[in-house]
Amino acid sequence: MNRPLLSVRTLTTTAAATVTAAALVLGGLAPAAGAAGLVPAAAPAAATTAPVDLVDDAATPETRSLFAYLRDVRGTGMLFGHQHTTDYGESFAVRDGVASDVKAATGDYPALFGFDTLIIEGRERPGVADATREQNALTLAQSIREAHDLGGISTLSAHIENFVTSGDFYDTSGDTLRAVLPGGAKNAELTAYLDLVALAATNAVDSDGTPIPIVFRPWHENAGSWFWWGAAFGTPGEYAELYRYTVEYLRDVKDVHNLLYAFSPGGGFGGDASLYLRTYPGDDFIDVLGYDTYDAGASPAFLTGLVADLGMIAELADARGKISAFTEFGITGGVQPDGQNQNTSWYTDVLDAIMADPEASRSAYMLTWANFGESTTPYTPTDGEMLPDFLAYFDDPRTLFASDLPDVYGGSTDAVAAAPTVHLASPADGARVATSPTTLRASVRGYDADRVYVTVDGAGAGIELTAPTAGGLWWTGTWPVPAELLDNSTHTLTVHVIAGEVEVATRTSTVVTGERPQLEPGTVDDFEGYGDDTALRSEYTQIGANTIGLARATDGAAVGGGEQALRFDYSFATQSYTGIGKQVAGDWSGFWDFQLWVDPDASNNKLVLQLVADGVSFEAYPSLAGDDPYLATIPFADWRPAPWDTAHADRRLTPETLAKVTAFNIFVNAVDGGAASGSVSLDELRAVPGTPPPTTYADVSRDHPDYAAIEWLHGVHDLGDKNGRFHPTRAVSAADLRAVFAAYDASAAAPSGTSRLDLAVALWQLAGSPATGAAHAYRDVPDAATAAVSWAVDSAVMAPASAARFGASSRVDRAELARSLFMADAVRVDTAPVVISNFTSGADGWNIASWETNGGVAAAADGRLVVDPGAGGNWVSWSGGLDLSGRTQLLLDVPATTGFDTKAALQLGPDWTWCETAQAGWVSGAHTGADAVVIDLTTLSADCRALLGDVRGINVYLNEGHHELDAVSVR
């Protein structure tokens, strides 16, 4: 692509501004936030500064200095950061540790360089998939050194794999958050991962061997539930213990002392500090208060919410002696092609809104996401309609880039001694203790304790804990929970710390004891099994600001059944919706209706029931118009995908979808003219058998063997008569076949006749005339049709009449037409050729493999990938994510080659297992289109074929010479 002109920004601060800023700092003052006139480009590191109170009181002087700089720069300017700025880009294809899209666009590097622990896993550059994790950790350390040498401050986020399922960070199954907590089944795996983080951090050193400070941001965006450590998968106390364990292990066991710890729970808090702090681990564990959010248009509503939240966080930081920062931001979906961006002044609109507010402007930095290249959209432009605004953002004296930074590590600071801390690591606050006995683990730091014990509900002599062994973190003991307490009730555990026979500290937390309430299949909740409000709240994720509790009949409250119901109190003072959610796993395919008891509040607001099934959120809306309780029955046929989910607008709650229920959420949305606050009671939320809706055709019942196929065909073309009957056994006519095939695919040829052989041939052609394995020899099938019939039988599209006869001349009835086309459609969707790369816009990520040392070049030219391997040949590699389940062939379109004998090596599954195919045989000359080079994926081992649903990398071997690839695809 064309390299844009560099910004005209002067990359050095004016002398007057520098002198002014220095005078203000040395004089013990700071420039007022929002002050008129020129804002200095940066506040230089002070020669003397206030004491620094960090999570780690043994932090290196450089780490303390960085904290002091970020604290003091707030209000004078905002540092700009970019994730993976030298690892990926639009303006360069090969990482060299220097090239950067931000540098290409502006002439300067970002002030902050963002990295991620995915580098350690080999899933992001500069990590390498086939390197050991220890090697990748050292590579990460080297990258931090490169960023340091380029003048940048390093931040490290953590998208950590699922230790239970071996899936990635988006895999929310397995109850993983609880499994990795102290005492959990997978705590050792998390600990081993933290060892790798420690390895990277302690080896990130400058030219003098001094550790380079890093802003570490683990467990981010936990207010949402898209990561396995999110709000739906643990209580606030359990999340807090996950974060505390991370800090204590790295700081106290691994002696890592060059980290600042950032907390960034997400965005959209409506300026409500209590929502933001809901999962806060505590001042003793956090240095940076962060905020993550994305937006496409910079609308007034978004900017108002953004400023309110950043201002609230800045005030919290001021009160607690922390740094506030916009830890992750960006244009939703990235910078779009010209003409498709909602707001071409997005960067400056966001900056102006923040800087116009005296509190929000006190954010130390703002970091946007990576430009991953290839088919993804970037978060910073290198050309196009968004570039002028990004350059205006860069030119604004209120933004700080790498060349604006002073010596951020050279300030003289004094460390504040850490305050003593006590907390119960397990069971965590709000956790459930389901069995007896259970192990108690208490962290006691900063006290010369000679005795630690735990009392239950303030009674009894207490449970004595044993001091930690050398290198250990916890005082431990065993709590034999009495059987009578295992009744789903809440109890207070108090840690008592004794030093010199004096109680020097106590710390209380609560736990819920007993198994979760057992509910009938299809029941979301009847609210009868909760001993108190705390037990209830431990089962639900809070979304926004609200209060839930138990409404009890014994207190005179109305309930739907039994003795208890849910009371949901809300206010729209700082939000437009609020809700709660619960994980509900089950098969609801046998239910047709949903029922609940509602005691409305006459608010006229919108009550939203949201059922998540097969990954889609379906909604229904009982009324809040009146104030009389009522029983609502809502057929599943009336539920629809959430209005915001336009990608699934046509989905419906079929029995197949209801078999995959995963969550149930309840919201109240503000409505114009509705009440500003209210209280709603709900009870008896359950799926019920109900009455199935009428079938589409009167003569096709739900237990008809071809019911699903006939219903599907109705969506393609209606063959029913005027009386609503389908006539499954009626022979199809030629007109029926023509109409159905035209409706299904206007480009497809209809069968030439109405026999089963005609249909088999037409369906085979519709699927692209795929090759099959061994041919079936049926007496009534001519040789010319053997391939078609063999494919139809092998693919289960059609069944033979017997072992010897296909039934070629038999007429096709309507049920068989529906069944066969339905099956062929599934096969066609599953096996349609997929183009992985066509090289029209570049190399699409293909390169000479990183481990090759014999030279070789791979580059895009004229819509092709041109490969000139080094002596002896090269592997050419691509990495990404693909589901190749059911695929049998990897195809190479080769318009020109000097000749090669290729094979493929796929890297599969979470461990990037190396799986090689057989050789494809010598290829010379052009092989394109139907004659493309075929690499047979069926030659992979059975274990490897089982992993084809999770392809992480593709490698193709090419001999020494010259080769041109026009496309790489699979079928």
Cα of 785 vs its chain's centroid, Å: 49
- Concerning whether 124 is annotated as a catalytic residue, the answer is no
How many Cα neighbours within 13 Å face the side chain of 291? 33
- The secondary structure element, H or E, covering residue 663 is strand 661-669
DSSP 8-state symbol, 324? E
Catalytic residue among 121, 189, 328, 816: 328
Note whether 353 and 366 are within 8 A (CB): no
Contact 955, 849 (CB under 8 A): yes
The answer for 844, left when phi > 0, alpha when psi is -120 to 50, beta otherwise, is left
Neighbouring C-beta atoms of residue 266, cutoff 10 Å: 21
Helix or strand holding residue 477 (H, E): strand 474-479
The token pair at 645 is: 């989910």
- Whole-angstrom distance, CA of residue 159 vs CA of residue 117: 6
Phi and psi at 270, nearest 5°, equal: 60, 25
Query: Which tokens hold the place of 139?
Result: 């590579």
Which residue, among 100, 87, 114, 96, has the nearest Cα to 3 in the 3D structure? 100
Ramachandran angles phi, psi of 330, nearest 5° = 170, 170
The stretches of 89-232 forming alpha helices (DSSP H) are 101-106, 133-149, 176-180, 187-203
Give which of 579, 690, 565 is closest to 223, Cα–Cα: 579
Question: Is 221 a catalytic site residue?
Answer: yes
- 605, 702 Cβ separation under 8 angstroms: no
SS3 758: helix
The burial of 446, by beta-carbon neighbours within 10 Å (0-12 exposed, 13-18 middle, 19 or more buried), is given as middle
Task: Rounding to the nearest 10 degrees, give the CA dihedral for residues 896, 902, 903, 904.
Answer: -30
Cα dihedral across residues 159, 165, 171, 174: positive or negative: negative
Residue tagged active-site, from 90, 121, 189, 221: 221
Q: How many CB atoms lie within 10 A of CB 102?
A: 26
> Measuring CA to CA, which residue among 894, 865, 878 is closest to residue 836?
878
> What is the chain's Cα-based Rg?
32
Q: If residue 421 lies in a helix (H) or strand (E), which one and from where to where? A: strand 421-426
Taking the C-alpha atoms of residue 487 and residue 602, their distance in angstroms, rounded to an integer, is: 36
Catalytic residues: 221, 328
